[in-house]
Structure 1
Amino acid sequence: MKTLVIKQTLLTCLLFLSCTGLQAQERIVEQPAFDAWSSTTLEIDKIALSDTATVFYIDAYFRPKYWIQVVKETTLRADGKTYPIKAGDGITLSEKFWMPESGEASFRLIFPPLPKGTKTVDFIEGNEEGAFKIWNIHLDGSPANSSLAGKKNPAETPVLETPILNSGIATLKGKIADYKPVFGLDGTSWSYNTLTGGVDESHFKIQPDGTFTQEIPLLHASWIHLATGFINCRVYLKPGEMTSVEINFPEICRQQSKKQKDKPSLGEKYFFTGAFAALNNEVNNRPAAPTSLSPQSQEEYIKMMSDVASMNLDEFKDYWLKRYQEAKAKLDGQTGLSEAYRTLLLQDLKLSFVQQAMSPSMIEYAYRSVNKIPRDSVLVDYVKPIPTFDYYDFIPQYISNSPLELYSNSYAYLLDALRYTNFRGEKQATEEEKVPDNTADIAKVMGTDKGILFDMLAGRRLAASIKEFKPLDEKELQLAEQTVPEIRSALLDMNDKLKQTIEENKKKSGYTVNRVNIADIPAEELFNAITTPYRGKVVFVDFWATWCGPCKAAMRASEPVKKDFVGKDIVFLYLAGENSPKGTWEQMIPDIKGEHYRMTDAQWTYICNKFGVQGVPSYMIISKDGTPTHFQVGFMGPDKMKEMLMKELDK
């Protein structure tokens, strides 16, 4: 017995010494720096390096009650070699991991040991769109690398030029510092078109060396929203001139990381030169604290609806005036802003106030929302507030009718708000799909019919037809001749391009409209009538709208997938409603290969209610026997789309 006790004691000591020896060989790298990443969801709290394993201690941050996934194909890559993941601890690989109520979770990912002396490693969670990737993780405790570290922008005071109408191409040249082709970034920009009232979207490629070029047609000096990866910035541009920018991508990634943001800076994020350089550097490197009239949370929105629901017109106007004054006070309290930047911010607040106060229809909307009364139900004992001229006396106090207002993206929306407002408070006769010309009423409110505001309104009324893919008729062409030269030239150019597009669309093929005549089919029978001809084939249904940016982006992303299925038993079915203008819809679908239907409001509402379509884009997959097998809101990504269709085809 005594011998057994001695043996057990010796064994325990050996195990202890063994474990102690292993621990002595383990090296911990706390919150290692990295140079770039594809997502803010996974953060590395620490890495344990030993002779037996490489262990990543992960903290995950994501929306509560939504899932994330780490696939079993995850690898580490270092010095040209790949190290596949061995196991997960606290997470099951390739299975959905549901985030808790806190939106935070922790787990470990275990990989093979890395060779001693390895200085950096890449974390690659597969190659599908949306995969988690972290590049150049520093294992030696060194900070992230940035070739722009230490560089400084010149100390220049921005000067705000008064914009003039002058159509031309604004050129933006950029370079993403320390870019690698494996980042796989593509870029998109959005510019607010004051003439059409739309948002012009443009896409560009990032070259292997990180450079890119964009040429943006503009009617006047304005700004675009530039986005690629985690790069999101506002860039002021001028027609006929060039703006250049160097982008400190490692610093942008560092600032977004919960683990790295408090570590030493790698320098400023953006380095602009050329047109508007000083303003762009200030706006993007030293942005003002947000000031907004709109609710900033769901709780604020609910309270706003509750407050507005019982207001009369004067109370409604005073409500938004108070919110404007509060936002302005916050702006006034901010120091260090240039006068140019402060002027732009104040101008945005003024235009935002005008738009909100010009929307008293919100009172009825709030009343219905709070009392849970459907929009199409008749209101009993409710007197709808109808404003007249006197209500709008605030407009000339906050709209300056100055070209400086062209800098604001809100200006495009303001023009529409003015065009659609019935200042008289009386019912007006309108032609089908035509907005009555209320220029005289706007002039009465403003006290003048001259200035940039009226030049832009005249152009907007004519551009509205072109935007809906309707070339200008003879009467409209005569009106175009009466606009200022710059707007006239822009309108005629748009009109010529539209007519050319219409002629080109006539030659296109690969799309079918109304294979089934749905005009007289009852709503409850419609979907079956549309899909029955495709029995024996898999049907991919896309609920979309012509005005929906994400819908169009998803269509572009899905084009390569559709090409992969050419000749296969798959049908791509696109359903839109009457809120997609007919002319626009007719001219867009020639570029969208597939089967197309534009339903009435009643048909669209019935089908959306039947399948739970609460927004666009939404998608459905129908099996060969006509059974819906999948539905989701929002695009699933091209890789997932292909995987799901292949799975359905193989059944």
Structure 2
Amino acid sequence: MKKLFFTMLALVALTGQAQPIPQDWFQTDTITIKGRIENFDAEKFGFTTMTCYDMDVLEHEEEVIILNIAADGTFETKLQANYPVFNEFFNSDSKVGFRDMYFYARPGETIDITVKTNADGQYECFYNSGSSKDLERWLKSGLTVENLSRSRTLAHFEGKFSEVGKEAERTWQDMQSHLQEKGSQLHFTPLEMQMALADLQVIFAYAMIDYSWNHWQKVTNIEERDGVWHQEVTNSAELKEFDKPENYKPLRHVDFNNPQLIATALFPVTLNRLQFFLPSKAAKCEILGTDNDNLMVQLHNYRNMISEFKEWRAHEEDIPQKMQEYLSTVTHPVIRQKAEAFYALQMAQTETSSPLPVNNTSADLIRSLCAKYPGRYLMIDFWAMWCGSCRSAIQKSKELRAKVGKRDDIKLIFIAGERTAEGSEAYHNYVKEWLGDETTICLTNEGFSRLQELFKFNALPHYETITPDCQRVSDFYQIHGYDNLETELELLKEKLK
């Protein structure tokens, strides 16, 4: 069965044509990651944990998984998966140069990894079992990082939309040539070459879509006036280029109906870009096609359903009809099953808030904040210095936050992660300029990751609302930022009466 599974995947990448999805491709089961770092010493290495951002496109919540490393260097953790996964555990505080531990695993597998020094004295992963062993040379090749770097010129191309095709073709040929050269040098197996090609296709697609988004921002101007967002077109001729399918021809290099793409590390982010940041319907039709049986179309629609469900809750009497209309377009049995399970779960949730877990240091931090500001709702803004959207939201909300600061029923808390709990000079300068009157908390990267694990998020900015009795407000009743903060707060207070 395993041989047949890999053979079918190889056919997909070799032919570039849509192939039947392997029967055992979608399975829900646990993946176990275990192993040992030889000669581990926490002080010498500079870390005792590693982090994994698990973005399963069939789940409605993101997971941040913390891998704890024992004093003897051993580690073990588990994650749920619905299909094969290519991902990594990473740390940002290493003193020995070891920062990334990549793995590839199918649901139900145990991946055993030994981290030790190689002949050059550098720490390296050696895979002892599972699909990671079958793909070891590719996992250790660094191709994903190198192709991300090679695609950056395409993502940040400065030319017109009608000119991006040449740059995209040059980028595609360059990435393919590099893959062939590296694969030959490292003696990739056919399977490793196929997985590397799928990874390359997703990175290429992401770069092309990123260019589209960056360019759209240059030809339009969105600004808020009197609480209303207005869009102005600054270059109408260039904006029309977004509706021309021929401008997206380079994306035909990517087989969006290939299930192997789903297993690549960047696929969830690329799907998110398709969902939210591709401004033209013509582009989506060119990329995804219009056939509802297309796997990518159904995944795209599934993610839209999850996103729109929050809006449906505002008119709960319409939800059954809207859900039935959505399900009528779903033909893939696994996606339909997931959609029905999501619907049942959401409709069964009647609680507006839920208690924080006990015996959890991150939850204890939140409880200490509730004790510090008794009787108030807390709106926590999780942000980072590197996050442009975070800083934009903070800066645009300065006047509103001054108004909110006079209220006695809500308190804004700003939590950021830095390499040290003291933060960087840039962090302190920014806080002084923009958050001088706010309550700010700076955590180590590990401390911030544990809060991400608690609240199940990895995208920033992220907002959490905590009730005066220190319970987490459920997703549908959260305050979702600053644009409608006061209105959403009053609705929440009414709901909790």
Q: Residue 221 of structure 1: CA displacement?
A: 0.6
Residue matched to 1:404: 260
Q: Does the CA contact (< 8 Å) of 1:293 and 1:327 recur in 2?
A: no
Residue matched to 1:345: 196
Q: Does the CA contact (< 8 Å) of 2:52 and 2:66 recur in 1?
A: yes
Q: Does the CA contact (< 8 Å) of 1:388 and 1:424 recur in 2?
A: no
Question: How is 1:536-551 mapped onto 2 (pairs within 5 angstroms)?
Answer: 541-542=413-414
Q: Does the CA contact (< 8 Å) of 2:38 and 2:115 recur in 1?
A: yes
Q: Does the CA contact (< 8 Å) of 1:191 and 1:225 recur in 2?
A: no
Pick from 288, 310, 320 the counterpart of residue 474 of structure 1: 320
Greater relative contact order (CA < 8 Å, ≥ 6 in sequence): 2
**Identity score, percent:** 12
Q: Residue 225 of structure 1: CA displacement?
A: 1.2
Residue matched to 1:599: 482
Q: Secondary structure at the match of 1:165?
A: coil
1:232 aligns with 2:100: yes
Q: Residue 467 of structure 1: CA displacement?
A: 8.4
Q: Does the CA contact (< 8 Å) of 2:52 and 2:90 recur in 1?
A: yes
The separation in 1 between residues aligned to 2:480 and 2:178, in whole angstroms, is 50
Q: Deviations over 1:476-516 (max 9, x none)?
A: 5434584533333434444565567762725568383389x
Residue matched to 2:36: 175
| TM-score normalised over the length of structure 1 | 0.47
Specify the code of the residue in structure 2 equivalent to 1:208.
A
Q: Unaligned 5+ residue runs, structure 2?
A: 10-21, 222-229, 357-366, 380-395, 418-422, 424-440, 452-459, 474-478, 487-497
The separation in 2 between residues aligned to 1:399 and 1:343, in whole angstroms, is 13
Pick from 188, 195, 199 the counterpart of residue 58 of structure 2: 195
RMSD over aligned CA atoms reads 4.9
Question: How is 1:102-117 mapped onto 2 (pairs within 5 angstroms)?
Answer: none
Residue matched to 2:334: 486
Specify the code of the residue in structure 2 equivalent to 1:170.
I
Residue matched to 2:166: 318
**Structure number, greater radius of gyration:** 1
Closer, same or farther: CA 397–350 of 1 in aligned 2, 3 Å:
same
Pick from 242, 258, 283 the counterpart of residue 138 of structure 2: 283
Residue matched to 1:59: none
Closer, same or farther: CA 391–202 of 1 in aligned 2, 3 Å:
same
Q: Deviations over 1:136-165 (max 9, x none)?
A: xxxxxxxxxxxxxxxxxxxxxx96774611
Closer, same or farther: CA 167–514 of 1 in aligned 2, 3 Å:
closer
Specify the code of the residue in structure 2 equivalent to 1:360.
S
The separation in 1 between residues aligned to 2:272 and 2:216, in whole angstroms, is 21
Specify the code of the residue in structure 1 equivalent to 2:163.
E
Question: How is 1:115-134 mapped onto 2 (pairs within 5 angstroms)?
Answer: none
Q: Secondary structure at the match of 1:292?
A: helix
Specify the code of the residue in structure 1 equivalent to 2:115.
I
1:457 aligns with 2:300: yes
1:557 aligns with 2:447: yes
Residue matched to 1:220: 83
Q: Deviations over 1:493-549 (max 9, x none)?
A: 44565567762725568383389xxxxxx9775444444568xxxx9951679xxxx
Q: Which moved more, 1:456-465 or 1:476-485?
A: 476-485
Residue matched to 1:269: 124
The separation in 2 between residues aligned to 1:161 and 1:467, in whole angstroms, is 38
Closer, same or farther: CA 425–333 of 1 in aligned 2, 3 Å:
closer
Pick from 212, 219, 226 the counterpart of residue 360 of structure 1: 212
The separation in 2 between residues aligned to 1:277 and 1:524, in whole angstroms, is 49
Specify the code of the residue in structure 1 equivalent to 2:55.
Y
- The structure carrying a bigger helix percent of its residues is 2
1:414 aligns with 2:270: yes
| TM-score normalised over the length of structure 2 | 0.59
Specify the code of the residue in structure 1 equivalent to 2:130.
A
Closer, same or farther: CA 284–495 of 1 in aligned 2, 3 Å:
same
The separation in 2 between residues aligned to 1:165 and 1:289, in whole angstroms, is 24
Q: Does the CA contact (< 8 Å) of 1:234 and 1:284 recur in 2?
A: yes
1:185 aligns with 2:48: yes
Q: Residue 226 of structure 1: CA displacement?
A: 0.9
The separation in 2 between residues aligned to 1:324 and 1:386, in whole angstroms, is 21
Specify the code of the residue in structure 1 equivalent to 2:321.
K
The separation in 2 between residues aligned to 1:173 and 1:212, in whole angstroms, is 5
Closer, same or farther: CA 506–159 of 1 in aligned 2, 3 Å:
closer
Q: Unaligned 5+ residue runs, structure 1?
A: 1-157, 256-263, 370-374, 427-437, 516-521, 562-578, 604-651
Question: How is 1:553-592 mapped onto 2 (pairs within 5 angstroms)?
Answer: 557=447, 585-586=464-465, 590-591=471-472
The separation in 1 between residues aligned to 2:243 and 2:86, in whole angstroms, is 34
Specify the code of the residue in structure 2 equivalent to 1:398.
V
